[in-house]
Amino acid sequence: MRAYKKAVIASLFLPFLAIQKPVGVVTFEQLQAEASIKQNDTLYVVNFWATWCDPCVHEIPYFQNVYSKLSGKKVKMIFVSLNAVRELPKVQQFADNKSLKSEVLVLNGGNPNNWIDKVDSSWTGSIPATVLYKHGKKLYFHEGELTEESLTSIIQTKNK
């Protein structure tokens, strides 16, 4: 009971102690529930990346800049890391170092063949890749890097 109480108290303070939101681990179904099938008017920008992927790391600041300019708008950005689950601490460290304000998740997707096509049938499996969802519908898919300008214009065009 005492341990339980301690845990409750600790969890109450945890959000204030943590600098960054802790990086979570999700299954593909959980990711779908989080973004792609949500029936609301928030625009979900889902970016697939990994800490070892140079072009991904390169474009993340662009995504951050675009996100900060969109503050107040109904936009949610989710960085979905394809690092191995055991590399969670590495992903957390990256998120802390870069002060990522958006949600960061590590995907525990299992066999990629079971879900790559569910994201987009044209996706060959290279990263970065970016998907936009709204009202439970996919608005856009892109395999490859994006610039700050292109991301801004895609969001403006698609988020009507």
Stretch that binds other proteins, among 24-32, 70-78, 98-106, 123-131 (CB under 8 A): 123-131
| Residue closer to other proteins, measured from CB, 126 or 157 | 126
Terminal-residue alpha carbon distance, the chain: 52
CA-nearest of 49, 64, 62 to 128 is 49
Instruction: Specify whether the CB–CB gap between 116 and 141 falls below 8 A.
Output: no
Q: How many residues bind other proteins (CB under 8 A)?
A: 20
The one among 112, 148, 150, 158 contacting other proteins by CB under 8 A: 112
At 48, list the tokens.
């697939």
> Strand 24-26 relative to strand 103-107: parallel, antiparallel, unpaired?
parallel
Per-residue binder mask for other proteins (CB under 8 A), 71-90, x = binder = -----------x-xxx----
Q: Is 43 in the site for other proteins (CB under 8 A)?
A: no
Pick the binder of other proteins from 22, 24, 125, 136 (CB under 8 A).
Answer: 125
Q: What's the CA angle centered on 129, arms 128 and 133, to 5 degrees?
A: 145
Work out whether 55 is an interface residue with other proteins (CB under 8 A). yes
Nearest residue to 132 (alpha-carbon basis) of 82, 93, 89, 76: 76
Residues forming contacts to other proteins in the complex (CB under 8 A) are: 50, 52-53, 55, 82, 84-86, 110-113, 116-117, 123-127, 144
